[in-house]
Structure formats: C-alpha cells, structure tokens
Amino acid sequence: MRLLDACRSRVSAIFLRSRTHDEMEQELRAHIQHRADDLEKTGISRAEAERQARVEFGGYEHFKEECHEQSGANVVDSLTHDLRYASRVLRKSPGFTMVAIMTLALGIGANAVVFSILNALVLRPVNVPQAQNLYVIQPASTGSSTESYPDYLDIRDRNRSFTAIAGYEMAPAGLNSDGTPAQIWLYEATGNYFDVLGVQPYLGRFFHASDEHGANSAPYLVLSYGYWKSHFFGNANVVGRRVRLNRFTYTVLGVAPPGFRGSELFFSPDIWAPLVDEQQVEGGSDLTSRGARGMWLVGNLKGGITPSQASADLNDLAASLAKEHPEDDAGMRLKLSRPGLLGDMLGGPVRAFVTGLMLLSALVLLAACANLGSLFAARAGDRGREVALRLALGSSRGRILRQLLTEAVLVSLGGSALGIVGAVALLRVISAWQPVPDIPINVPVNPDLRTYLAALVLALVSGLIFGLVPARQVLKADPYQGMKMGSQTGARSERISLRDILLALEIAVCAVLVTASLVAVRGMVRSLHSNFGFVPIHAMQVCTDVDMGGHHGEDAAILQRRILEAVKGIPGVSAAGYTNRVPLNLGWSDNTVFKDSATDYKISNAAADAMEYNVSPGYLGAAETTLIAGRDLTWNDTKDAPRVAVVNQEFARRLFGSEANAIGSHFKIWNGVRVLVIGVVEDGKYKTLSEDPQPAMFLSILQSPSSETFLIVRSDRGTAEITAALERNLRALNTGLPFSISTWSRELNTALFSARAASMALGVLGVLGAMLAITGIFGLAAYSVSKRLRELGIRIALGAKRREVLSAALGRVIRLLAAGSAVGLVLGLAATKLLSFIVYQASPRDPAVLGGVIFCMTLVGLMAAWIPAQRALGADPLVLLREE
Amino acid sequence: MTDQAQILPGTLDLLILRAVSLGPLHGYGILLRIAQISGNALMIEQGALYPGLYRLVRQGLLRTSWGTSENNRRAKYYELTVSGRKRLQQETDDWNRLVAAMTTALSVRPEEA
C-alpha cells in the first residue's frame, strides 16, 4: 500500500506540477506577509515592513528551488517548469523566435529530405524477404553490369556460393487484354526469379523453373498488383485468363503482392513474363549468344559464405569460362554488388551522389546551428542583466544553463516540426514524380520511421550544440558586474570571440554550398547547349514495334516503309526517317567492330566497341545529324547490295586514322561481315551527356532489319497540331500497332534526368546556404550596430565621415565575410571534383564560377548588412544620449 | 538576537516535528513556535525552513491543509501524521541519549580519566 501511495504521489507530483508551483509561491508569499504584519506592529510603515520581511527571508528563488527538490521534484518535473518558462521567454521576442525556427526548419527540412532519399536508395534494401542475402553478380571491370544468358546458365549451375541465381531484363511489349493493344513494361525473368527473391503470390501462382522447357515454352505471365487493380479492377477471376502479348496467347498465372516491385528500386513493372519467351516478347532473342550481355543476375548467398568468399569462387568460375569461350569471355572477371540500382551501373554514381548530398545538407544544418549559436550568444549577452539578477537571487548557474538549453531545444523542436512538414510535402511530390515519359520509372522516397527518428535526433543534437554556445558567458557571468553595468558588459572586446569564429565558419560553409551549386548549374547550362549530334527541337518521336502487330522479316520492312511514307505525306513535315534506337534514350546497342585485316573475331582483336544504329535513309537528315563527307544511305542499299554504313568522326579516327581515309574503306562487323563506309557524320552523345567521344556507326536498316521503330519527324508546326496529324494518319493505316508520340525534347529529359535532378538538388542547397548566410550576417551586423549605437552617434557628432562610421560599425563583419568566403571558396572548389562524376562538365576551374561565387557572397553581404548600415548612419547622438 | 545559536545540522527536522506536535501551524507560525519553545535561543534563517517542511511532507511525516491564519490570511497548515508522531518520539529519544552521552563525556574531569 505504501508503495502504491508513494507511486501515486510521485505521479501526481508530475501532473499536478503547476498547481504545486502556484501553491509554493502562495505559501512563501503568505510567510512574508505574516512577517511583515508582525514588523508593522513595531511601528514601521507597511512598505518598509515588507521590504525588511523579504530581506529576512533570504534568497527567495534559491529556497523555492530547494523546496522543489525536497518535495520530490524530478527531472520531468523541473523540465516542464523549464519548458513553461522557456516558451514564455520565447513568446516575448517573437521576431527572434521566428527567425530561429525558420532557420532550423530549413536545416532540418533539407536533411529530412536528403535522408529520406538516402534511406530509400541506399539504406533500405529491395522490398523482399531476406534482402540482406541478395547480391547482384556483375562483371568487375566493364562499365555495364549485365551478363549473357549462356554465361548466366554456367554461373548458375557451376558456382558453389549461392543457393540460387536468377536473371532478368526489362523491356516494353504490347499487351492486349480487352481488344486494344497497349504498351506495357515488364520484367522478363528466369523461372526461379520469384523463388530466389522469396516472394509469395497475392493471387494464383508464380512461374517456376519447372515451367521452362526451351524457347517460347512458357506462355505465362504474372500481373503486378497495381496493374491488376487498374486494368482488371481487382477481379479475382483473372487467374487463368488468356491475354495477347504481342499477338501471342499468354495465360495469367497470378498477381504479385502489393508493394512488390521486383528486383529494382526505381522500376515499377506492369507484368512479369518468363525470359525464355524473349523472342515473342521482344521480337528477337539473343539467349543463345554468349557475347550478348543484356541480363542482370541476382543471387541468394548461401548461409555461412561471406561475400568475399563468393566473389573468389565466382572468379575461379570466370577464369574457366574465359578458357572455354575465349572469343566471348576472355578476361572475364565477376564481382558482387548491392541489388536495387542495376548493380553498380546506377548504384555507384547514385550512392556516391546521395552520400555527397547528405554531407552537403549536414553542412547546411551545421551552418544553421552556427547561425543560431551566434544568435543565442548575442541574446545571452543581452540577457546578462537578467542572468545576473537570477544569480543574485540564488539561482544556481547549472539551473540557468539548463534553462537556456531548454529554450534552445524548444526552438529546435519547433523548427524541426516545421521542417518535417515541409519535407514530407516535398517527398510526396518526389515520390509521385515520373521523370521518364512512358516508362514506369519512379523512386518512392516516402519518409518512414527512420526519417522521423533521424530528424528528431538531429533537432536535439543541434539544439544542444547551439544552446551550449552561450554557456561560457553564463558560467563566467559576475552578478555584481552584471547588475552594475547591465547589458553593456563585455560588448566591446577586441579579441576574436566565439561568435566571430562561428560566423566565419557559417559563411565558409555557405560559400561551399554556393560554390557547389554554381558549379552544378553551370554544368547544367553547358550540357543543355552542348552538341548532341542531333537537333531535338522541332522534332517528334513516334515509337512502335512492328513486331507487336505480328509482322516479321520482309513484311516488317514493308510496313515500316509504309508508315514512313504516310508520315512524310503529312503537310508541314519537312523530313522523316526511322531508326531502331535513338541516341540518349534509355536503351542502346553497341557492338564490336574489327579492322578489315582482321581474321580472328575475338573480343581481344576488336578495333573498337561502336554504338550501333540501324537507320533508314533520311533518318540522319530528319535528326539533323550533319553529314561531313560522303553520302547518306539510300533505298538502294538493300539486302542484296553490298553492306554499307555511315560512321561518326570518332569511328573514322579510331579505325582509319583520319576522316579522309574513312570513305571507301571497309571494316568488319561480327562474323567477319565486310562493311563499306560511305559517309562520315559529326560526333554526338549516345549513352549519357557526360561520356567521352564514342565511335558510332549507322547501318542500313534494310540490311540489318529491326522491328523496333522510332520514327523521327521534323516539322515546324506546333506540337499539338503535328501530334494530332500524326495520330490521324497513323490510325488511318490500320496496322493494329500501338504508337506513342511525343516531342524529342521531352524524350530527352531521360538523358538529362540525372544531371537535372542533381543540379536542382545542389541549386536548392546553394540557395539555402545563401539564405542562412544572409540571416547570420544580418544577425551579427544588426547586433554589433545596436551595441555600439551610442558610440557611433558620438562619432557622427564629432564629424566622422560616412565611410568611417560604416567601417567602425561593420568593418569586423565585412572582414569575417571576406575571410569566410575565401575559405569556403577554396573548400568548395576542392569538393566539386566529387560533383564532376554526376554533373556534366562540372569544372571547378571556371572563371564564371569563381566570379559567380564572389558576386554571390558580395551580394549576400550587401543584402544582410544594408539595414544595419542604414541604422548606423542614422544614429542621432542627441536622441541616444537622452535615452541613456 | 545576538545570543542566538546556529542550530546543528540535522536538528531542523526534529525542531519542526516538535513545533508541529503541539498543534497544526503554518510556516511562519512554526518559526515563531520554535523561537518560543527554545526561549528565543535558536536562530533559523526564515527561507531555510521551507525546504525542510517539503522534505518532511514527502517523507510522509507531515500532512498539509490550507486554512485561514489568525491574521486573516490564507496559509498552508502543517500537522503530524501517525508516522510523524512515531518519528518524533524516536528522534527525541535518540537526541536525549546523545545529549546525555555528550554531557557525561564533557563533564568528565581530567583527574577522573
């Protein structure tokens, strides 16, 4: 019972805290009144009696605090007391509080956003059970992360480290479930795919290894949950239904569970189909070619095997494959990487960039803390009198310190709450964003518990950091001096104070951010104005795959020509042509080429690895790829004519030494087929904007047929007008093919996506940095002017010139700004080497960037110091002297 | 007030318990009572009384209630609980034993040792 009572009194002590506090106040006052009553009886006045009673009572605050402690006040208890007091103090200076909260909201918000992205892309594994055992198996050296199907089979069957290895590719196809074919995106996966990932179907069943019996043997598909909901309206009878995939009949086996997006983080497929059906799905198959590396491998590590043991095992296997198949696998090396971002292809740069971004946003927070630290220090200085008074009344220094810390933490919690709200809104937008038109790519970065925890920890830590800045001031405060001199104490000390260091640090951090973002923006502007090797403006892209209509071979070529002629006939179309691949789109093909003298077609004998485009006559004209020498392909370069190609300048240099030698020379493609060079075109960008010059060849699509068709249509008519005309004319052809029509510029967003996203992120951080620098400088300048207003007034009265007044008032701030900016600029330039991985042409040694940073920081300084400077110049000695 | 003695550390609680044992009192009243029963010989700093009171309340030796004082002011009254009374008895005994022992020890003359 006693224990229960004790608990109850303890609990009620916490909740009835404010009542206890009021009662204590009343009780002590009553004591003083009673004493004063007695003293009054001795014949002195009431006022004198009360004064004397208070003196006799002793240190009021001190005893009150001791009473709190003795009555069992615990940490929670005094914390609520501190919180009430802190919120009262903060409410008293709303301007200060608002600036502080906004500053922190920016810092915490930026960190919450970046952390969420880091969490989604780097920390959080792919959404499958036991994701920690999953590894991507990929080539160790080359830029790509993919393997060929024959190599996959060997690796799958002969390794000793994985319980199972699955393979997959991503591709578009035409799916017809209700009469009209529509383009969908799918995973083509090996039979064991779902078993390796360890997922269970939501409805029906998945396909398994036992369903595969050679090419096109498994006409089954699995719907994603989202596609099932949107296209089959969640109908459970869908299992067993027959649909047409590119005019082949497939059976729906089942539906994947909600939230399962397959083995990649950013790709959300509509369906999964067995990889053995590749020929039917893609219209062509390279499952038998050991050199055609197009599939990603993901495996389940056996228990007890470390990743390094596994990669040793895989490399033994690679060495024997290299011996067995020297023509394709010579020099093969394998390694492991984390799943979710196409192996190291995206994973490497994305992880590096997001980590870099996290560092930069941590710098933003650090700058915000430095900013708030100096604000709080300035305020603690102003409150010197209050602190001195409380010390004199018997408050302990520890208590006052705790009080100041509580204020800081309260501000930081308020700021982070606001920051989180903003961050969540921004993250929703990012999650819903689909950067590439027509392809189901997006990155769900919605915040989870980890994000909120991280934000809370950051808020508390930063609150403590900037809250502790004024600690020294409080600890060395001398109540006597404080009372005597009020808030003027120590306002003029010539040595460098902690506040100065903080401001210089903050300015340096901000200059780093500004430098980084200027480098990124500059790179972005350059990349937009660089030469792509084609002109996307005023060009439309019509994408289809004639194979989806079931056209093959000659039939396909005739259909493609028919489509082209129909499009050319549209009024306003100045040029048109088609190709199987478009430069800077997501997919590309490259192939090894050999010198004419080569006789042994091993990879090691290759002269170059060239981008390959199978194009129609007129494509180069429609793309406005400049022909430098020779002629374009013609309709006479048919199957029966000698093989011909147009190559780019880089190709000509690599194979023939010079552009002049190229025309009329031969080179060899796979299997030793001789190809005659008939023309040379300018170099362009093919895979990414930041690539080095790549050799490229444009082969005649009549001689190397392809069902994939990208029609490039050049026209000066408005986009809406030409789109409508294209739709009308293509429908009139009655081909039964799905067409997707968009402008080339829009399609190009894909290639520019990473650079754009990176520049945007860096730009935002730069703006944040500049804003923090402004508030920081403004804070210190305003503070130092207000401290010295009287002195400045006297200087003006004594005839000081404007320049002298300004240098007296703001000289120190300006010196700090200059020093901080210089340090930040140097650090920023050093850091931009990191940026050049992602941002195209991010060169730190660029006079525009250097000038831009100096200009920005000067502007920041001017903006921040303008109001304090006006105030300093307007100081009126008479008014000021009267005030004191 | 000059011949007042500082109270010994630890004796404040006992004094308070003793003062209150004679009837409920408010804080100032306790001070007056201590002065009265000690013949004005013991000096307690006024504010220092309260932490002691709160400590005793927390230990369950005193209980409180609000009432109106003789000066017609609202005041908080303290009185002994059952365990407070027991504690007073016990501490008084302890004190007496201590005093007796101290007195004996201090009254011994050198030649008797």
The ipTM of this complex is: 0.88
The closest of A404, A414, A418, A413 to A375, measured between CA atoms, is A404
What is the spatial distance between Cα A284 and Cα A775, in angstroms, rounded to a whole number? 62
Residues of chain B positioned with their CB less than 8 A from the CB of A28 = 47, 50
Lowest-pLDDT choice from A223-237, A317-331, A692-706? A317-331
- Hey, are the CB atoms on A69 and B51 less than 8 Å from each other? yes
* Claim to verify: residue A358 and residue A307 sit in the same structural domain: no
Q: What does the alpha-carbon distance between residue A27 and residue A42 come to, in Å, rounded to a whole number?
A: 24
Domain annotation covers residue A737:
no
**How far from the centroid of its chain's Cα atoms is residue A657's Cα?**
42
d(CA A476, CA A481): 11
Residue A569 belongs to some domain of the structure = yes
From the list A33, A62, A70, the residue facing B73 with the nearest CB is A33
Question: Residue A646's pLDDT is what?
Answer: 93
User: For residue A270, which of A181, A177, A196, A172 has the smallest C-alpha distance?
Assistant: A172
Would residue A316 count as lying in a domain?
A: yes
Q: Residue A132 burial (CB < 10 Å; 0-12/13-18/19+)?
A: exposed
3 state DSSP class of A136: strand
Q: Are residues A706 and A798 in the same domain?
A: no
Q: Which residue did the predictor score with more confidence, A392 or A794? A: A794
Whether residues A573 and A698 share a domain: the answer is yes
B30 interaction partners in chain A (CB closer than 8 Å): none
Nearest chain B residue to A7 by CA distance is: B58
Instruction: Flag whether A162 is in a domain.
Output: yes
- Confidence (pLDDT) at A314: 81
A11-20, A135-144, A493-502: lowest mean pLDDT where? A11-20
B26 contacts in chain A (CB < 8 Å):
30-31, 34
3-class SS of residue A427: helix
Same domain, yes or no, for A436 and A413?
A: yes
> What is the full DSSP assignment across A765-812?
HHHHHHHHHHHHHHHHHHHHHHHTHHHHHHHHHTT--HHHHHHHHHHH
Q: Which of A239-243, A418-422, A693-697, A753-757 bottoms out in mean pLDDT, i.e. has the lowest? A: A753-757
Q: B54 to chain A: which residues are within 8 Å by CB? A: 67, 70-71
Q: Domain end: A339, A363, A379, which one?
A: A339
| Interface contact flag, B54 A71, Cβ < 8 Å | yes
Indicate whether A1 pLDDT > 50.
no
Residues A329 and A413 grouped into a single domain? no
Return the residue of A nearest to B25 by Cα.
Answer: A31
Residues 6+ apart with CB under 8 A from A308: none
Answer whether residue A118 is part of any domain: no
Q: Are residues A481 and A605 in the same domain?
A: no
A378 or A644: which leads in pLDDT:
A644
Q: Which of A66-70, A378-382, A698-702, A794-798 has the lowest mean pLDDT?
A: A378-382
- Provide the pLDDT confidence category of residue B2 given band limits of 50, 70 and 90: very low
**Nearest C-alpha neighbor of A503 from the set A728, A776, A280, A273:** A776
Mean pLDDT of A749-771: 74
Please indicate, yes or no, whether residues A362 and A480 belong to a single structural domain of this protein.
yes
CA atoms within 13 A on the CB side of A701: 27
Q: Residues A757, A695: one domain?
A: no
Domain range B5-108, its CATH number among 2.60.40.10, 3.40.50.1220, 1.10.3720.10, 1.10.10.10: 1.10.10.10
- Tens of pLDDT, residues A483-506: 555 444 444 444 566 677 777 887
Q: How large is the average pLDDT for residues A361-378? A: 78
Q: For residues A199 and A331, state if they share a domain.
A: yes
User: Distance (Å, rounded) from C-alpha A556 to C-alpha B37?
Assistant: 119
Question: pLDDT band for position A883 (50/70/90)?
Answer: low
pLDDT at A9 over 80: no
Which of A697 and A313 is assigned the larger pLDDT?
A697
Percent over 90 (pLDDT), chain A = 4
The alpha carbon of residue B76 is apart from the nearest alpha carbon of chain A, in Å, by 6
- pLDDT beyond 90 at A767: no
pLDDT level of residue B70 (50, 70, 90 thresholds): confident
B contact test, residue of A54, A67, A69 with most B CBs within 10 A: A67
Q: What percent of chain B has pLDDT over 90?
A: 13
Predicted pLDDT at A345: 67
Percent of chain A with pLDDT over 70: 86
- Say yes or no for a CB contact (<8 Å) between B28 and A63: no
Residue A549: per-residue pLDDT: 66
- Tell me, yes or no, whether A78 lies in a domain: no
Name the pLDDT band for A427 (thresholds 50, 70, 90). Answer: confident
Residue B57 contacts A, CB cutoff 8 Å: yes
Same domain, A333 and A357: no
Burial of A871 (0-12, 13-18, 19+ CB in 10 A): middle
- Structure confidence at residue A320 (pLDDT): 84
Q: Which of A31-45, A329-343, A828-842 has the highest mean pLDDT?
A: A31-45
For A65, which residue in chain B has the nearest alpha carbon?
A: B51
Which tokens sit at A26? 């009343």
Residue A707's domain spans which residues? 539-715
> Is residue A745 scored above 70 in pLDDT?
yes
Residue A641 makes CB contacts below 8 A (sequence gap 6+) with A703
- Among the partner-chain residues B26, B47, B58, the one whose CB lies closest to the CB of A71 is B58
Looking at the predicted structure, is the pLDDT value of residue A721 above 80?
Answer: yes
Residues A773 and A844 placed together within one structural domain of the fold = yes
Mean of the pLDDT values across residues A615-636? 90
Closest Cα to residue A262, out of A223, A294, A210? A223
pTM greater than the 0.80 cutoff: no
Please provide residue A764's backbone torsions phi and psi, each rounded to the nearest 5 degrees. Answer: -65, -40
What is the pLDDT at residue A248? 82
A408 touches A462 (CB < 8 A): no
- Give the whole-angstrom CA distance, residue A568 versus residue A590: 29
Kindly list the distances between the CA atom of residue A802 and the CA atoms of A780, A873, A879, in Å, as whole numbers in the listed order: 20, 7, 19
Beta strands in A224-320 (DSSP E): 242-245, 248-255, 271-274, 296-301
d(CA A462, CA A498): 17
Do A236 and A261 reside in the same domain of the chain?
Answer: yes
Q: How far is A481 from chain B (nearest CA, A)?
A: 26
Q: Is pLDDT above 80 for B24?
A: yes
User: Count of domains in chain A?
Assistant: 4
**DSSP alpha helices (H): ranges in A93-148?**
94-118
Degrees, nearest 5: CA angle A392-A397-A399: 105
Does A107 map to a domain? no
